[in-house]
A and B are shown apart, each in its own frame.
Chain A
Amino acid sequence: MATPVTMPQLGETVVEGTILKWLKGEGDTIERDEPLFEISTDKVDTEVPSPLAGKLEKILVQEGETVSVGTELALIAEDGASGDGGGAGGGGEEAPAKDAEEKPAEKPEPAAPAAKEEPAEAEKPKAEAVPATKASGDGGPSGPPRRAPTAAPSRGAAQRGPRSQILSPLVRKLADEHGIDLGQVDGTGTGGRITKKDILAFIETGAAEPGRPRLEVAAPGEAPTPSAARAAPQVVAGREEVVPISHIRKRIAENMHASLQTSARAWNLVEINMENIVRLRARAKDRFKDREGFSLTYLPFLTRAVCDALLAFPDVNAKLDLEAGTATYHGYVNLGIAVAYEEGLIVPVIRRADEMNMVGIARAINDIAARARSKKLTPDEVHGGTFTITNPGPFGSLISVPIMNPGETAILAFDAIEKRPVVIDDALAIRHMVYLSMSWDHRMIDGATAAQFLGRLKQNLETWDFTPEVQAYLS
């Protein structure tokens, strides 16, 4: 009996996805929760684990194809154990014995030839379904347990079936009249089709919100920075090569262009003396690495300073809606951190960053960056930001002019810290300096606000004593 694996609903507004890569081939055996394929949606690229153990019988959608949510992607023949017939072990079990090796066979072996582990294996396949703790190399042991999105629908999203996209004229009309996002409606018709009753029931429950925006733009806040790990296309000297661009590339392109088209971008730069922070970090970094399992970077220091400045200048942490003639002030900081990875760039969001201390922020940044690179982010983690920091410093960039993430008022670029000769008290000195530059939307704020914001940031970074925050790690 083969069970279909369908395109999962990865986020509330996701309607389709592209198969990037099959991690198993036809005929391969697969464990439950073992990564089965990689997909790319307009929100995120991610690995999808197998919903059940068995043999990958057939791949129905090839790599590179884009299909709607609920489409059958592959068929998995379930393990022999779930079959109803095989009592006397007549079937050819080819299940690997490794499972049995890992666990001592607690059950007394039935009077069977010794060498065979099969009965024990067959008796407890389901209960022991091993969670795939396949941490990707860079894993941070301190981070929260990583939970890859499963093939089951994510919380909040509706049940999807293969016919969920077949919409009758009546359903379209009702959805239109009531401003319903059909992605939220459970379909109870054949194959998950949304029927009149479903939509009327949805309206009844008051779940529909007229005029609800459909697509949250969630792509990165700046042009991608080159990544060493990036797989370059095969280019033959002297020839041209035309290749299709990736899904994520297309999304970045669209979002960046849209941002420039809808904002009035202006730009300011301040230079900051990072000497105190550089020295403090030098004293804390070794024990920090030992205890936390990852390196202490400058980003958490910057983030602390930024959160303070954002609270002091709420205009910078706001969202303008010119059409509605409103500005939305966020009473919290959801901080987007631009992360470069193999396929491009993504901006995971640290929610309520203003409520975290420095170690908390460091852990959150590390966790989210690691999961961004291993494509384990959930779609809800890549939208809802209120302000973004991009960090091209490690690549040696000195000054950046980033593009705002659509829906946000400003983006801050954190470039390379380097020793420069500076004038201090009319004397020349060598100090660790950095240029902090900010692109901002002149529709929402003016130069004075931007400059004052950057001034506050400069003051924080140059005068705050971060020692108590890293006290535990000081050597």
Chain B
Amino acid sequence: MMANEKVPAETPQADPREASKQASKAEGKPDRAAKEKERAEKVEAGAAGHGAEGRGTRNEQGEATFLQAISEALWEEMENDDRVFLLGEDIGIYGGAFKVTEGFIDNFGAERVMDTPICEETIIGAAVGAALAGMRPVAELQYADFIANGFDELVNVAGKYHYRTGHSVPIVVRGPSGGGVRASAFHSQNPEPWFAHTPGLKVVVPAFPYDAKGLLKAAIRDDNPVVYFEHKWIYRRIKEVIPGPDEDYTVPIGEAKVHREGDDVSVITYGAMVHKALEAAEELTDRGISIEVLDLRTVHPLDTEAILRSVERTSRAVVVYESYRSLGIGAEVSALLAEEAFEMLDAPVVRLAPPNIPVPFSPTLEDAYMPQVETIVETVEKLAKW
């Protein structure tokens, strides 16, 4: 079973449609598709074991990838605060399955960048203990899917400790989540609803490098346990210019962000789906439909004000999310709108999410399973005309 965890870092991007879409998105960078393909092949070459390419550094324009932004946040927080340390599987010498902590052990030493046994219960349990002893641990899960192994420590110990004893448990449990990378049912899940349902935990799912860095710093500084999911599809695809080490900033947990204003339909989403929604927005504009893309950024606690504000304007909402459809974040947002915004609604609230089945391995099936730009366009168009 553990061998499964050694599945390559980022799994390949074999779908040519996906690649061409990326290419068309990259303005003035015609070589992007080629680069994408090259990288995909590299990762695929190492599929039997570790083989992810290095994390790399910001490009000449100063843009950081999502992956680099997360790494920068960890690095800066460790430099600023001695209590911050990392623990997880292969995060030290190997630099992490996705290379988030590449080079960390050389700078901070093995005591602050701890390689652990392959046992999530221990990783999270140890983090809870260290936090109670005054430290600010950041635990890495190689894949978010394996958080289930540490479930009890998180929901029953970390989440309830403060309520039971008055002691805060300032831990961050972070890990790569999400699908669309051909990694099948054990390496593609979006476990955020499990923890959004649980009292005592904050759950953060950023979509952009800026937010990823600012939110991770905020999570580390937060006295509550924070679960932080980083979508692996975004890791190396999305980059932007973000502040460096000399410009300390945080993004407050619990605040959503409007990435694009619109009048006809609110698309409420988070994680990788934000990018699909933004792409869909372009196509919908061509069809005369203006959508507002609201990135939740934090799925618990929800920014209910931002949601209501947006729907007050558009009167129509579709919630796009990648976790299983039933009892996901979409269910919560829909319920909120039904309770608080009934008289603002001009159409039913719609959920667009995968069905309640495990993420398929077959690329064709996985594409059909996940919300795509086309399905968002289709759903929004129907809703706009309702």
Contact = CB atoms under 8 A, between A and B. Distances in A.
Interface of A: 168-171, 173, 189-190, 193, 195-196
B386 A170 contact: no
B2 to A, nearest CB: 53
A56 B345 CA distance: 40
B385 A168 contact: no
A195 B343 contact: no
A196 B346 CA distance: 6
Interface in B159-197: none
Contacts of B345: 168-170
A136 to B, nearest CB: 44
Contacts of A195: 346-347, 386
B386 A173 contact: no
B315 A189 contact: no
Interface string B370-386: 00000000000000011
B251 interface: no
A163 to B, nearest CB: 9
A168 B342 CA distance: 9
Nearest to A196: B346
A195 B289 CA distance: 15
B153 to A, nearest CB: 44
Given A170-B315, A196-B315, A189 B385 contact: yes
Given A170-B315, A196-B315, A190 B386 contact: yes
A193 B342 CA distance: 18
Contacts of A171: 346
Interface residues on chain B, size class: under 10
B385 A170 contact: no
B342 A189 contact: no
Interface of B: 315, 342-347, 385-386
Which A-B residue pairs are the 8 nearest by beta carbons? A196-B346, A170-B346, A168-B346, A173-B343, A169-B343, A196-B315, A190-B385, A169-B342
A interface, by DSSP: helix, strand, loop or mixed?
A: helix
A467 B385 CA distance: 67
B343 A189 contact: no
16 contacts: A168-B345, A168-B346, A168-B347, A169-B345, A170-B343, A170-B344, A170-B345, A170-B346, A171-B346, A173-B343, A190-B385, A190-B386, A193-B386, A195-B347, A195-B386, A196-B346
Nearest to B263: A197
A272 B355 CA distance: 86
A189 B386 contact: yes
Given A168-B346, A169-B344, A189-B386, 9 more contacts: A168-B345, A170-B315, A170-B346, A189-B385, A190-B385, A190-B386, A195-B346, A196-B315, A196-B346
B151 to A, nearest CB: 40
Contacts of B344: 169-170
A173 B344 CA distance: 9
B380 to A, nearest CB: 14
Nearest to A176: B343
A189 B346 CA distance: 10
Contacts of B385: 189-190
Nearest to B347: A168
A137 to B, nearest CB: 49
A219 B342 CA distance: 39
Contacts of B347: 168, 195
A196 B345 CA distance: 9
Contacts of A189: 385-386
Contacts of A170: 315, 343-346
Nearest to A167: B346
Contacts of A173: 343
A199 to B, nearest CB: 9
Nearest to B348: A168
Nearest to A168: B346
A169 B345 CA distance: 6
The winner among B343, B344, B345, B346 for most chain A CB atoms within 10 A is B346
The winner among A168, A171, A193, A195 for most chain B CB atoms within 10 A is A168
Contacts of A168: 315, 345-347
B342 to A, nearest CB: 5
A195 B315 CA distance: 10
A325 to B, nearest CB: 34
A189 B315 CA distance: 14
Contacts of A190: 385-386
B318 to A, nearest CB: 15
Nearest to A190: B385
A361 to B, nearest CB: 51
Contacts of A193: 386
A65 B346 CA distance: 30
A105 B347 CA distance: 55
A168 B385 CA distance: 13
A468 B315 CA distance: 69
A190 B343 CA distance: 20
A117 to B, nearest CB: 46
Nearest to A188: B385
Nearest to A163: B386
A195 B347 CA distance: 8
A41 to B, nearest CB: 29
A182 to B, nearest CB: 14
Nearest to B314: A196
